[in-house]
Amino acid sequence: MSRVGGASPSAVQLQALGHLVHLAARPVDREADQVQRVGVDPAQRHNGGVGVAGEGERGPADWARYWRDPDRAVEAMHAHFFSHRFHPHSHDAYSFAVTEIGAQRFRCRGALRTSGAGMVMVFNPDDPHDGEAAAELGYKYRIVHMGPDVMRNVLADVTASAADRAALPLFDRPVVSDPVLVPALLRLHTALVGGAGPLVRDERLTAAVGALVRRGATGPLRARELPGGSGEQARAARRARALLEGAYLEEIPAARLAEAAGCSRFALYRAFRAAYGMAPSDFQRQLRLRRARGLLVAGRSAAEAAAQAGFAGQSHFHRWFVRCFGVTPGTFQRAAGPDSRRTPQPW
């Protein structure tokens, strides 16, 4: 296992997680196996916000279904994308995705990556990435997002060291080919979207996290807390980020941001992209989108979420939500709501 920043997962943590790997390696249950073999989507019979439905007469169409765990910060999506292109964005959670059919191409950590069928995409919190189809008929995948606190709590259950409990894992490879991780994630995804009880969800979450950390982690997440690079460029990027995080609802001119960073606007743009993988304007929009997601979860309407998160209007909010998350605000909000048992409706 490679080392990052001079540190790697501790022996205590790896030993404690080792016994979970055999659980994750078990074949997925019959329902999930059916999904893999014949393309049947059992999740259509369960809760979940629904986006674009199926395929049209003229060929493949984009569709996405979304679910949220009612008890913790865990979300899941099952989607097929043919024409949709993700704008550069990141999540405030870990994201693990299994490509089922086709291939997805995306840029992450300075390089172009491709995930084909049977491969796993892995993103740490705040890892910027985009995404588009790399195959003629697009790609279908299942993705699970889990908040850092969820990851930390699962690790705390199986590690004895306080230091191990405090350290979140770093996954340094955006694409992984591993025969254990695929069934572990599919079993977890099936439990989340299939209406499984809390005990089953807990078991599969623990097994999946154990397999992921044991087989995919390369060090502690704290090794990447500071942006890449050093010296004045990195400090300028951090100062600009601090201003954006403290005033993301405001309209911040480039001159004000450059003044806070202590450099020219051009130098700031280059430093910020080098440190965080996106332009300052994209970073500000991302903060607004995260705020809007929280408002939607709290039950606010899309119009209210758009206004309170700083968007120019509901259509502006809707457009950027889809570009970054692959589903509409309404689909996301219905994911765990009382009216989520609906016939698939187009976006």
| Amino acid residing at 169 | P
- DSSP secondary-structure letter at 4? B
* Section 284-292 average pLDDT: 97
Tell me if 206 sits within 8 A of 19, measured CB to CB: no
Instruction: Grade residue 347 by pLDDT with cuts at 50, 70 and 90.
Output: very low
- Judged against a pLDDT cut of 70, whether residue 330 lies above it is answered with yes
Q: Domains of the chain, with CATH numbers?
A: 13-224 (2.60.120.10), 232-334 (1.10.10.60)
| Token reading at 280 | 């300052």
pLDDT of residue 232: 86
pLDDT of residue 341: 39
- CA 36 to chain CA centroid, nearest Å: 22
Instruction: Grade residue 122 by pLDDT with cuts at 50, 70 and 90.
Output: very high
Q: How many residues does this entry show for the chain?
A: 347
pLDDT of residue 37: 30
Which has the minimum average pLDDT: 24-38, 115-129, 328-342?
A: 24-38
Greatest CA span in the chain, whole angstroms? Answer: 59
pLDDT of residue 166: 60
What proportion of the chain, given as a percentage, has pLDDT over 70?
74
* Section 85-112 average pLDDT: 96
pLDDT of residue 209: 92
pLDDT of residue 160: 54
Strands 111-116 and 94-108 turn out to be antiparallel
Mean pLDDT in the chain? 80
* Section 125-146 average pLDDT: 96
Instruction: Grade residue 293 by pLDDT with cuts at 50, 70 and 90.
Output: very high
What proportion of the chain, given as a percentage, has pLDDT over 90?
62
Coil, helix or strand at residue 42: helix
- Judged against a pLDDT cut of 80, whether residue 42 lies above it is answered with no
Q: Which residues contact 305 (CB under 8 A, 6 or more apart)?
A: 292, 295, 296, 317, 329
* Section 25-47 average pLDDT: 38
The secondary structure element, H or E, covering residue 79 is strand 74-81
Q: Which residues contact 312 (CB under 8 A, 6 or more apart)?
A: none
pLDDT of residue 225: 41
Which has the minimum average pLDDT: 19-28, 30-39, 106-115, 255-264?
A: 30-39
pLDDT of residue 290: 96
Residue by residue, DSSP assigns 143-177 as EEEE-HHHHHHHHHHH---HHHHHPPEE---SEE-
Could you tell me where the DSSP H helices lie in the chain? 11-24, 30-38, 148-158, 162-166, 181-193, 198-216, 232-246, 254-261, 265-276, 280-297, 302-308, 314-325, 329-334
Instruction: Grade residue 156 by pLDDT with cuts at 50, 70 and 90.
Output: confident
Q: 226 or 289: which carries more pLDDT confidence?
A: 289
* Section 180-202 average pLDDT: 93
| Token reading at 322 | 């889809």
Instruction: Grade residue 219 by pLDDT with cuts at 50, 70 and 90.
Output: confident
pLDDT of residue 34: 31
Coil, helix or strand at residue 278: coil
φ/ψ (deg, to 5) at 49: -65, 145
pLDDT of residue 249: 95
Distances (CA, A) of 299 to 13, 74, 101, 225, 287: 39, 18, 35, 32, 19
